Structures are given as structure tokens and as C-alpha cells.
Structure 1
Amino acid sequence: MQAEPTGSADPACTYLPSAALGGPLSHALARVARLHRIAAGRLLRGLGLYPGQEFVMMCLWDAGPVRQAELIKAVDLDPSTVTKMLQRLEQAGHVRRRPDPDDRRAVLVEATDDSCALHSDVRRAWTDLEGHTLAGLEPAEREELARLLAKVEANLCREAGDCPTPR
């Protein structure tokens, strides 16, 4: 079976596998998401974070102490993945876990005071990532891309049927 070129001059981006011929935009979106995660990972590695941990920290910085079960829902990841993330973040001194005084079976998770410096570093990393990701796009193109991605996200949320509730 033959794949078709996508029209780009870069050989890495010209190959469209035959199985993806019915979904070239989905294929492109998957490639972009993968590359975005790699770029984010490089920026976060310099802060001592693994990809995904910044989302846990963002949630904790904005929400304050939350039950671990609520945090798992908020970041929409597998509970074992979040538990491992929290173990690493706790070892690094960025989070603290303690029993919930209202329900001793539940665990409260909160960002530590020491993580405040990390907050500004993560914000700067995401600003840099945004700049690299959208380089060459005009402000109107950026707005249009954000609008279109919101529509795509809404479609996928309806399909998945389990999208997190916006805060």
C-alpha cells in the first residue's frame, strides 16, 4: 500500500499512512499533540518535572488543598498515574499529603510553600512553549486556531461523554 504526500517540504510531515487517508486532520492533530508534549517535556525537565506533573501543580495552585480523588478527576488521569506523580512531587517537596480532617479515609493534597517558585517557572515555561508553538501566526490566526480547537475539543468531549467540568 502506498501512502500519500501531504504537501509539506519536510519529509517527516509528508508521509500520510494509507490507514490515515480517511482522517488526515486527525493524523495531523495526533502528530502536533505528540510534538507539543515533547517540547513541553524538554522545558519542564529543566524544572525537575515530568510531563503531566505541571497540570497537577496548576490544579493545586489554583484550587488549594483538594482530596486526592477530586484531583484525579480534575486532571483526568489514571489514579495510579496520579499517585506516582504525587509521590515524586512529594519527594521533591512540591506537594504535601495528609488525612482529610472531615473524613480520615480521604487524603488531602496541597502545594507546599516551597512550590511557589516553581509556579513562576512553570508559567514561564508555558509562555515559552506558547511562543514556540505559535511562532509565525498572526494574532487573528491565533484567535482563530483557539476558536477551532475549542470546537474540536467540544466534539471530542461529546464523543467521550466524560469531560471534566470547567472550574
Structure 2
Amino acid sequence: MKADTGTAGAAQADPACRERLPLAAQDGPVSMTISRVARLHRIAAGKLLKGLGLYPGQEFVMMHLWDAGPVRQSDLIKAVDLDPSTVTKMLQRLEQAGHVRRRPDPDDRRAVLVEATDASCGLLTEVRRSWGELEDHTLAGLDLGERAELARLLARVETNLCVETADCPEEARRQALRR
């Protein structure tokens, strides 16, 4: 059975811009929209990050390191919630670019500490600028009230998913239980 791809030219050219839902997604229109929005947001972020020499996801590693300071690689992997091999590859690339440094943990020589380098300070400014551009592009046409309401609703959706996947901090679980 063929899914309806919509009638608009753009909708036919890019399945992410469909006006109508595929048959299998008709019982989950919001979930389908969230999936499409997340995909498009990641593509837009990737275009901005490419200009900085970063791959999507590497900015989250750097954000954590800029905020937390030196951390064990194992703790970084937990914080960014990615596969250890993915984080290792990211760190190799970031280290080659001069943005991070890895060294043995003086308290446990089996562990590795990861930290942002002083040279990455310029990158921090550029990532912040890029995320601001992404925010402006993503929310274009929404007034301040709509932006606040969207942020509130997305926070609630995040809490729902966080509790459902049992993959969230205790505070988010408590908030969800209070509803």
C-alpha cells in the first residue's frame, strides 16, 4: 500500500515536509511531527556546526566539558548518553583539532580525564553564536508568548519521555509523579 505523500511540490520533494501522514503514523501525528522536527533541527544544526569544523553531537561533548571542567571519560559518556565507541571517536577528532585533552586521572590511573583546552575558548563563542542562529531560525515567526508556551510544552513532553524511558534525573521523575 502506497502512503500519500501530499500534494505540494515541496512536500513531494522532501518526505520530511509532507502535508499528510503515512498510514502507519496516523495514530501518532504528534510523534511523527516531533520526529520530523528533530531530524530537520539536527540537519540545520549540522550545517552550522560544519562551518566550525564540528560534527553533530560534538558540540554536546564540548558544552559538557566547558561547563563541568575535567571529567572522567566514563562520566562524560554517561552525561552525553551516547555509545562509548561513538564518544571515543568524537574525542579523538576533538583532540586532533586541539579542542580537548585526555590524560590519566591522578586519583585512578586506570581512568582517563577529559578536559576542554584553552584553545577551545574561541570555539565556545562560535558554538554559542551558532546555537543562537539555530534558535532564531527555528522559532522564526513565533512571538515571545508562543516561544514561552512552546518551551513549556516541550519541557513537559521531555519529562513524559524521560519518565517513560527511565532515563532521567530523579527530579524529573518527581515532577512527573506530582502531575
Gaps of 5+ in 1: none
The 5 A counterparts of 1:1-150 are 1=1, 3=3, 11=11, 12-150=17-155
CA offsets 1:29-61 (integer angstroms, 9 cap, x no match) = 000000000000000000000000000000000
Percent identity, please.
Answer: 72
Number of equivalenced pairs = 166
Structure 1 letter corresponding to 2:147:
R
Distance, in Å, in 2 between the alignment partners of 1:89 and 1:19 is 40
Tell me by how many angstroms 1:26 deviates.
0.3
Q: What TM-score do the two structures reach when normalised by structure 2?
A: 0.87
Distance, in Å, in 2 between the alignment partners of 1:165 and 1:102 is 28
Distance, in Å, in 1 between the alignment partners of 2:156 and 2:8 is 25
Please say if residues 40 and 51 of structure 1, whose CA atoms lie closer than 8 Å, have aligned partners that are also in contact.
yes
Distance, in Å, in 2 between the alignment partners of 1:56 and 1:48 is 14
Secondary structure of the residue aligned to 2:112 is strand
- Asked whether 1:153 is paired with 2:171, we answer no
Secondary structure of the residue aligned to 1:132 is helix
Distance, in Å, in 2 between the alignment partners of 1:84 and 1:56 is 12
Structure 1 letter corresponding to 2:95:
E
Tell me by how many angstroms 1:5 deviates.
7.5
Q: What TM-score do the two structures reach when normalised by structure 1?
A: 0.93
Please say if residues 74 and 164 of structure 1, whose CA atoms lie closer than 8 Å, have aligned partners that are also in contact.
no
Tell me by how many angstroms 1:7 deviates.
10
Q: 1:119 to 1:63 in 2, by over 3 A?
A: same
Distance, in Å, in 2 between the alignment partners of 1:8 and 1:28 is 17
Distance, in Å, in 2 between the alignment partners of 1:137 and 1:51 is 26
CA-based RMSD of the aligned residues comes to 1.9
Tell me by how many angstroms 1:13 deviates.
2.2
Tell me by how many angstroms 1:163 deviates.
2.1
Please say if residues 5 and 22 of structure 2, whose CA atoms lie closer than 8 Å, have aligned partners that are also in contact.
no
Structure 2 letter corresponding to 1:74:
A
Tell me by how many angstroms 1:64 deviates.
0.3
Please say if residues 76 and 164 of structure 1, whose CA atoms lie closer than 8 Å, have aligned partners that are also in contact.
no
- Asked whether 1:162 is paired with 2:167, we answer yes
